[in-house]
Structure 1
């Protein structure tokens, strides 16, 4: 049996967001892992010129392409890519779906303010650009408003498909995520009505689950979810310490 895995990155992001997990699955299991770049996200492209419909279409096209070559397909989505993954899982006979920091809701203001305060403190010391959050804040601040509106439209367009997802789902959420709040993961868990679903909270993680303090736990949990038989749904809190 040929197994494929579609990995969908987030808004203003790139395949780097899921790269450690994608490489792990590719090397360990020899799966056909496809990590397409969404329209407007290549270096030579402009987010001002894209529509949310092109992101949905690209994800749909990628899924169709994988099903041409694979007998079994998994879908993994990060942030906005998690919402696109839910859409794919509702429309295609995927085996399982993984949602990491999925942006059903967004901007956890409390944690975001804490991160900004920490970054500003680094700036006072003359080291702002060395702060790990600096590239993220810089990127978000400079994102065209048109693209932000398209992102909101994308989330609104695919949310109704959540109720149509019937395959096992894994939802992973960073407790300290300043961009996608915990209530987003809880919303997804409640909205999806399939009997087999897992919700994992990672206590030390921020938004980038595959690169944070709990990254090894995240990847191990996702791997086990994909390759093992799954018991009934559960909610789990995990700590790196």
Structure 2
């Protein structure tokens, strides 16, 4: 039996990776675990939550799969990518997929471009129709500042485990990502010592890469990597 753990990102939920999960489920008989990290989901409740809880939740989901599956793949998106790398460095993981993984923090040029676009739309009176603006506006309202400190702590804690990853790894990064810069993907490729690694850039994808314009290419690339 093959198991597949999919881990969402900071201030997100399983919905961030669900399109990819649906694609894989329709084409395999694998067992899937897609946990909701404490305080996360469609409605955030992050106050009083610590990064250790987020890691522990993903780790327990992995161990659950490892008990019943001979082969376990781990897919991590954004912050979940760093948790996935931690698991691959600590346990026997057969393949690792990192999507927009937050090894580095913020893409300043892309964020500047997005803010400029927001200002232009505000002047035209169309900002209320911008899905990206509404998405991040809602997240900011629900995210306590101490939670962002926990996010930074998690990244710092998981980074050393990158050097322990020896399994085949696929790193995918959206080139229009407004949160994680291209150099984060290059950093991951350089830090991970595995001799079997692949770095792919999606030209049309922003941070929510499983919803990008080139998501079908993303899904096919992941499927090919996991089943080759």
Tell whether the structures are fold-level matches, with TM greater than 0.5. yes
Where does structure 1 differ by over 4 angstroms across 4 or more consecutive aligned residues?
none
State yes or no: 1:3 paired with 2:5: no
Q: What TM-score does the superposition give when structure 1 sets the normalisation length?
A: 0.91
If asked which structure has higher relative contact order (CA below 8 Å, sep 6+), I would say: 2
Alignment correspondent of 2:71: 72
State the secondary structure of the residue aligned to 2:210: coil
For the Cα contact (< 8 Å) 1:175–1:202, is it kept in 2?
yes
Alignment correspondent of 1:109: 108
Alignment correspondent of 1:179: 179
Take 2:98 and 2:42, find their aligned partners in 1: how far apart are those partners? 26
Take 1:135 and 1:53, find their aligned partners in 2: how far apart are those partners? 29
* C-alpha distance 197-87 of structure 1, shift in aligned 2 (>3 A): same
Determine which structure has the larger helix proportion and give its number: 2
Aligned length: 227
Take 2:134 and 2:37, find their aligned partners in 1: how far apart are those partners? 20
Alignment correspondent of 1:218: 218
Take 2:58 and 2:9, find their aligned partners in 1: how far apart are those partners? 12
Alignment correspondent of 2:129: 130
Take 2:188 and 2:140, find their aligned partners in 1: how far apart are those partners? 27
TM-fit CA distance, 1:185: 0.4
Take 2:42 and 2:132, find their aligned partners in 1: how far apart are those partners? 20
TM-fit CA distance, 1:22: 0.4
TM-fit CA distance, 1:59: 1.0
TM-fit CA distance, 1:198: 0.3
Q: Any idea what the Cα deviations from partners look like across 1:17-69, whole Å, max 9, x if unmatched?
A: 11111011112102111110001114566212100000111111110011112
Alignment correspondent of 1:57: 56
Stretches of structure 1 that go unaligned for 5 or more consecutive residues are 229-241
State the secondary structure of the residue aligned to 2:207: coil
Alignment correspondent of 1:163: 163
State the secondary structure of the residue aligned to 2:19: helix
RMSD: 1.2
